[in-house]
Chain A
Amino acid sequence: NAGVTQTPKFQVLKTGQSMTLQCAQDMNHEYMSWYRQDPGMGLRLIHYSVGAGITDQGEVPNGYNVSRSTTEDFPLRLLSAAPSQTSVYFCASAKGEPYEQYFGPGTRLTVT
């Protein structure tokens, strides 16, 4: 199993550009989530999904959209990038309670 994969590893955007961060898992996990990591703040939950077609907001959802059309994929969309979205983004997946989560390698995003 590849586990949780994320693409790209690095990305530089200009303010106002849009892009999609890709996340896929091959473990047939129901639960998937996106976190952002900023220095001194740990990781914060952006959006999560409890299955195909079901998504909900986390702690810091503004400026991000998600959808879940398949069990395997959970893309994160930035519609109009802002410098405040410069961060490292991690995708995670889990099977069921107690929801032990497996993290992807991360995407480092810089918005200029």
Chain B
Amino acid sequence: AQSVTQPDIHITVSEGASLELRCNYSYGATPYLFWYVQSPGQGLQLLLKYFSGDTLVQGIKGFEAEFKRSQSSFNLRKPSVHWSDAAEYFCAVAKTGGTSYGKLTFGQGTILTVHP
């Protein structure tokens, strides 16, 4: 079974600083990869996704992520964090192939705090 690890439970950065959130997955092939963001008391919003092709993907709100097959990683980055980026971030994977039906396996989440 696939698994997802987000090693950092809580990260604190200063506004304007760069950000990298780590995500490692365990799966026998290249999965579909997703990053979601959840503001307190809210639902999940898709930041970006990787299905195939270019390993550097751009998302909303200035986020990007890079898929590294050799490291089984899909780290999320942002060059300059804004106070409004404070939220919880989830990495998720889904098996490829029609019979997987896109069932998502989520990481434990990383809570981002932004200091002014």
Which residues from chain A sit less than 8 Å from chain B, CB to CB? 31, 33, 35, 40-45, 48, 50, 58, 90, 92, 94, 97-106
Contacts and interface: CB of A to CB of B under 8 A. Distances in A.
Contact of B102 (A40, A98, A105): A98
9 contacts: A40-B9, A41-B108, A42-B4, A43-B44, A45-B103, A97-B98, A100-B34, A100-B102, A102-B46
A48 B44 CA distance: 18
Contacts of B100: 99
Interface in B36-56: 36, 42-44, 46, 49, 51
Q: Size range of the interface on B?
A: 20 to 34
Contacts of B94: 98-99
A56 B103 CA distance: 11
Nearest to A58: B103
Interface of B: 4, 9, 32, 34, 36, 42-44, 46, 49, 51, 90, 92, 94, 96-98, 100-109
B96 A40 contact: no
B49 A100 contact: yes
Contacts of B51: 98
Contacts of B104: 33, 35, 43, 45, 92, 101
B32 A99 contact: yes
B105 to A, nearest CB: 8
Nearest to A94: B102
B102 A42 contact: no
Contact of A105 (B43, B49, B92, B109): B43
Given A31-B102, A35-B106, A98-B96, 8 more contacts: A42-B90, A45-B105, A90-B43, A97-B98, A97-B102, A99-B100, A101-B46, A103-B36
Nearest to A9: B41
A98 B98 CA distance: 8
Nearest to A45: B103
A3 to B, nearest CB: 10
